[in-house]
Structure 1
Amino acid sequence: MSQSITRQHFDEWMLPVYAPAPFIPVNAQGSRLWDQQGKEYVDFAGGIAVNALGHAHPALQAALVEQAGKLWHTGNGYTNEPILRLAKTLIDATFAERVFFCNSGAEANEAALKLARKYAHDNHGAQKSGIVAFKNAFHGRTLFTVSAGGQPAYSQDFAPLPPQIDHAVFNDLDSASALIGDHTCAVIVEPMQGEGGVVPATREFLQGLRALCDRHNALLIFDEVQTGVGRTGSLYAYMHYGVTPDVLSTAKALGGGFPIGAMLTTDRVGQCMGVGTHGTTYGGNPLAGAVAGRVMALVNTPEMLENVQVRHQQFMTQLTALNRDLNLFSEFRGLGLLIGGVLREEHAGKAKLIAQAAAHEGLMMLIAGGNVVRFAPALNISESDVTEGLTRFTRACERYLAGGSS
């Protein structure tokens, strides 16, 4: 007889690196989800921008089941058809000519940073090893990527950290220019900072970084783990900006909920990584390849990308309207279906309380630091689900303003 599971068991059995919500989801369909008690939620969190097509999408289920009946895993001593098809799909859809598959965004960024050091070492010498990243960035939780992410709260307890990583101010080209030089092997940047507060880069900033990297023979790495696979209304955000990187990391929505990450690059850069220079046991497995291939086929269409833009306008219109009455937010910002609501100064640090109030009202949503509530729903979310979710969000904000979060 199986044991009955409760939220309390997390506190008893799990390493306490998370503080999950007090309820346990057990079933979901599209943009609706139900917990153990049968309570319904509208999902504006999207698994942290992962569930690109919502929950239990029938085409993704079919792809997984079909592949599960054929071949699950062989390891990197062999290749497989689904992953090669996915590689060609990504190459045809982007600037890339070479792909490396892994299991997560952190692994994709780790591979990108290792590639940059290797490329510079082979072509310019060992002295060219500096990496420029940005304050308030987030690139993952490995020691290398957490050091590149410019948030000391995530890295300071794990010192000594990998050296020769400097942090400039995001969207400040003068700050970046002061750090980028002939010793720089790479600049890594998010086209829109997600965890750092849902802050889009300016076109001039990214264009300036491209020019600085060209001038100093440094690679430009775009971390598109959160902004990729249709999230901004373009397949990848670099297309929105018209600035092409040398290396791009992608994960999250790529598998629509199945773990997969990838690093994309050009043939010129990728050739430096020979046999044995990098690898992963699970990366590029057939199950992930089959599901991600179906995700790409469904997301990379004019209809889906247009829906992202239409739903963006719906969010912005309705959020602006509710804020006229509540006066809780100073601005709403973002691209596509990655949107942040910035709290007014008198409510600074209270984003978590609003998210907790939202859960009470039957809405799952995210925060991005203490001052920003974040919306990252499925790309195919319906007009009615957005309206219902924002109705619940309004009630949550009213609950917070009345002094209650639960």
Structure 2
Amino acid sequence: MNLFNLRRQAPAAIPEAKRVPVVVAQAPELSRECLMPSAERAAQVFVRGQGSWLWDNQGHAFLDFTQGGAVNSLGHSPSVLAKALADQAQALINPGAGFHSRGLLGLVNRLCQSTGSDQAYLLNSGAEACEGAIKLARKWGQLHRNGAYHIITASQACHGRSLGALSASDPLPCIRCEPGLPGFSKVPFNDLAAL
């Protein structure tokens, strides 16, 4: 099913006098109807941020306690970040995961120096981190433990929603999972004897 082809059924004809347009204030060309309703959102439309404050299109200020769900821990529009982003955008935004860049190499070198690691593996999501940890553990077992690839995880724990992580997890009551990848065993959490 292609979600981009899904559309709401057209509402029954409503007399013009009773119609209430669903549009963003002060921007009639922007409509909330185009946004798939995946989560309840506040009615405000934010147009500017500075530090911990947000301003909506009506000019009201709001103290932002979420900061973009912890993605934006530096606050909104800090001048040092805005300058760094502008400078980087003028030079190179992202050549892609298949290429080296000075920024990428500088970051991994700093990570290795500060942690005493030989190498760093960069990821952009928790799902990728789980998959990377599974692959890394299996690769290490193959190279240093006579081909070992088996992974033991805690039962009744959620490890993620990617194929490898699902294989390491017990199925949730609301999700019907087919058997996952081979090479996973589950033991009760905090049960050393079972381990």
| Among candidates 44, 64, 74, match of residue 53 of structure 1 | 74
Displacement of 1:85 = 1.3
Displacement of 1:113 = 1.3
Displacement of 1:66 = 0.8
Map 1:313-392 → 2, pairs under 5 A: none
Specify the structure having the higher radius of gyration (Cα): 2
SS class of match (2:100): coil
How has the CA–CA distance of structure 1 residues 151 and 34 changed in structure 2, closer, same or farther, with 3 Å as cutoff? farther
The aligned residue for residue 166 of structure 1 is 186
Q: 1:50 and 1:84 mapped to 2: Cα distance?
A: 23
2:160·2:166 contact (CA, 8 Å) conserved in 1?
yes
How has the CA–CA distance of structure 1 residues 50 and 73 changed in structure 2, closer, same or farther, with 3 Å as cutoff? closer
Q: 1:150 and 1:48 mapped to 2: Cα distance?
A: 27
Instruction: Provide TM-score, normalisation by structure 1.
Output: 0.36
Displacement of 1:114 = 0.9
| Among candidates 90, 101, 110, match of residue 122 of structure 2 | 101
How has the CA–CA distance of structure 1 residues 43 and 96 changed in structure 2, closer, same or farther, with 3 Å as cutoff? farther
Displacement of 1:95 = 4.4
Gaps of 5+ in 1: 181-406
Q: 1:68 and 1:93 mapped to 2: Cα distance?
A: 27
| Among candidates 63, 71, 81, match of residue 102 of structure 2 | 81
Q: 2:94 and 2:60 mapped to 1: Cα distance?
A: 37
Residue 81 of structure 1 aligns with an amino acid whose one-letter code is: R
Deviations 1:130-188 (A, max 9, x none): 23246454x5442323554667267x24533334152643xxx3x2x2453xxxxxxxx
Q: 2:171 and 2:53 mapped to 1: Cα distance?
A: 33
Q: 2:56 and 2:125 mapped to 1: Cα distance?
A: 26
Displacement of 1:93 = 2.7
How has the CA–CA distance of structure 1 residues 101 and 56 changed in structure 2, closer, same or farther, with 3 Å as cutoff? same
Q: 1:46 and 1:167 mapped to 2: Cα distance?
A: 38
Q: 2:83 and 2:50 mapped to 1: Cα distance?
A: 15
The reply to whether residue 21 of structure 1 matches residue 41 of structure 2 is yes
Instruction: Provide TM-score, normalisation by structure 2.
Output: 0.67
The aligned residue for residue 72 of structure 1 is 93
Q: 2:67 and 2:49 mapped to 1: Cα distance?
A: 11
How has the CA–CA distance of structure 1 residues 32 and 129 changed in structure 2, closer, same or farther, with 3 Å as cutoff? same
Displacement of 1:120 = 1.0
How has the CA–CA distance of structure 1 residues 148 and 45 changed in structure 2, closer, same or farther, with 3 Å as cutoff? farther
1:147·1:165 contact (CA, 8 Å) conserved in 2?
no
Q: 1:31 and 1:134 mapped to 2: Cα distance?
A: 40
Moved more, 104-113 or 123-132: 123-132
The aligned residue for residue 164 of structure 2 is 144
- Equivalent pairs, count: 167
1:121·1:129 contact (CA, 8 Å) conserved in 2?
no
Higher RCO structure (Cα 8 Å, ≥6 apart): 1
SS class of match (1:64): helix
Gaps of 5+ in 2: 1-26
The reply to whether residue 112 of structure 1 matches residue 133 of structure 2 is yes
2:49·2:77 contact (CA, 8 Å) conserved in 1?
yes
SS class of match (2:35): helix
Displacement of 1:90 = 1.7
Residue 90 of structure 1 aligns with an amino acid whose one-letter code is: L
**Structure with a larger share of its residues in helix:** 1
The aligned residue for residue 90 of structure 1 is 111
SS class of match (1:34): strand
Residue 29 of structure 2 aligns with an amino acid whose one-letter code is: S
Structural RMSD (CA): 3.1
Q: 2:80 and 2:185 mapped to 1: Cα distance?
A: 43
| Among candidates 34, 37, 43, match of residue 9 of structure 1 | 34
How has the CA–CA distance of structure 1 residues 27 and 123 changed in structure 2, closer, same or farther, with 3 Å as cutoff? same
Identity %: 34
SS class of match (1:60): helix
2:137·2:149 contact (CA, 8 Å) conserved in 1?
no
Q: 1:74 and 1:7 mapped to 2: Cα distance?
A: 34
1:132·1:179 contact (CA, 8 Å) conserved in 2?
no
